[in-house]
Structure 1
Amino acid sequence: MKAEEVWTFTVEMYGRNGVAPLCLELQERCDLDVNMLLFMFYLGQKGLAPHSISALENAVRDWREQVIVPLRNIRRFLRNADWDSAQKLRTKIKNDELNAERIEQELLCDAVETIPAGDRMAPARAYLSPTRFDLSQPECDAALERLRACMLLSPKA
């Protein structure tokens, strides 16, 4: 799997109208890994699914918990700092967080074992599910459909 292609897809999808706010809402509400969700959308669009989502979560867990989350927390802490030097640091940390997320995607690409998927939404549906997050099935379905529509992705192969 080509990490550069996955990153390009992620940046494009995340930048589409409505995607970022919904992803961030899910991240805040239930600790969803936005990178993982977008990776699942990427796989689905390629007609693939991961053999094991749990294996992928394990492959990135330490990186996410020890690098990405602390950077995010520092960036958020600095959000309301009203002096220029703190905002310059916040901008640098934001860039570092983005680079860390890109590395997470490289880890996902290295770790993924794929199987064919006839349903383009299957990987995202398997990840964003009540078995993984404190959401009801209707909430998961609604979020996935909103994301799919915002991303302008076809649900059919």
Structure 2
Amino acid sequence: MSLWDWAVAAYERPGVADACLDLQDAHGQNTCFLLWAVWSGAADAGLLERAAEAAQLWESEVLGPLRQVRRALKASTPPLAEAAREALREEVKAAELKVEQALLEALGRLVPARRSENPLQALQAAAKAWGEPPPDEALARLADALSVAQLYAPKPSAHHGASTPRNAAMLDDTADEPEPALRARLAALKQEHADLDTAVQAMAAVPLPDLLAIGRLKRKKLQLKDEIARIEDLLTPDIIA
């Protein structure tokens, strides 16, 4: 999963958005930079400083001004008609999302994902690199929300026999099904995956794509891909070396 997809998934989880907005508005932090720190598990002070400098430039020159314009457009702005104001605000919002995506993609190229096992520690290190750190309680709220969401957990082993408890339960649900039923389910899942792929491409082709909706469809595609792989494993006899 890319940093952008992970960040969108994280932001939608209960408590994460509120904690991020508090850190942004009350303490001058940058949400993209904080989420990158948890996603990457970056611990090197020099790397954190370089990433912070890059994010601060984007924040001051691009993201901050766009955010101010979007918020200014929330209120009635005569002589602009309400429909025109709201349409303009949506365009600014879409531009802001694209800038955040570009920033996250740039940060994601600095270091491979390691998903910190201690999100509070990662957030504290990032906040220190950013400047004057906020109170630990503010960082802890975000760390707790990410911990509950289990979005920072280490990746499962790539070996066929290793899986998370959730995957193991799903395997148990299908292991006793007859082969014809498994093959029928596999065909249906592959068709659903192809349909989602078509939908994602169509949504991405419009002038102002809904990035959050696209992110949700992409996560659904990943879930389907995992389920397809599990059923294919059941249908393919293990090879003993």
Q: Is the alpha carbon distance of 1:39 and 1:26 closer, same or farther for their aligned partners in structure 2, counting shifts above 3 Å?
A: same
> 1:26 & 1:14 partners in 2: Cα distance?
13
Q: TM-score, normalised by structure 2?
A: 0.53
Q: In the alignment, residue 100 of structure 1 is paired with which amino acid?
A: V
Contact 1:53 1:127 (C-alpha < 8 Å) held by counterparts: yes
User: Relative contact order (C-alpha < 8 Å, sep 6+): which is higher?
Assistant: 1
1:97 correspondence with 2:96: yes
Relative to structure 1, the CA distance from residue 57 to residue 22 in structure 2 (aligned partners, 3 Å threshold; closer, same or farther) is: same
Partner of 1:26: 23
Q: Which residue in the other structure is 2:66 paired with? A: 71
Structure 1 stretches of 5 or more lacking a match?
A: none
Q: Deviations over 1:92-120 (max 9, x none)?
A: 1000000000111122123x257x89744
Query: What does residue 135 of structure 2 align with?
Result: 136
State which structure, 1 or 2, has the greater radius of gyration over its C-alpha atoms: 2
Q: Distance in 1 between matches of 2:116 and 2:74?
A: 43
The 5 Å alignment of 1:1-157 reads 5-44=2-41, 49-51=42-44, 52-81=47-76, 83-110=82-109, 112-113=110-111, 119-121=117-119, 122-129=121-128, 132-137=131-136, 139-140=137-138, 142-153=140-151
How far apart, CA to CA, are the structure 1 residues paired with 2:3 and 2:152? 18
RMSD of equivalent CA atoms: 2.9
The 1:56/1:144 distance shift into structure 2, 3 A limit, reads same
Shift of residue 41, structure 1, vs aligned partner: 1.6
Structure 2: runs of 5 or more not aligned: 156-241
Task: Please say if residues 63 and 100 of structure 2, whose CA atoms lie closer than 8 Å, have aligned partners that are also in contact.
Answer: yes
Deviation track 1:37-92 (CA, whole Å, cap 9, x = no partner) reads 11112113xxxx25321110112322221111111000000011261101100001
Q: Which sits farther off after the overlay, 97-106 or 142-151?
A: 142-151
Say which is worse superposed, 32-41 or 122-131, in terms of deviation: 122-131
CA distance in 1, matches of 2:85, 2:10: 30
In structure 2, distance between residues paired with 1:125 and 1:134: 7
Contact in 1 for aligned 2:29/2:130 (Cα 8 Å): no
Seq. identity, %: 25
TM-score scaled to structure 1, two decimals? 0.78
Aligned residue type for 2:20: C
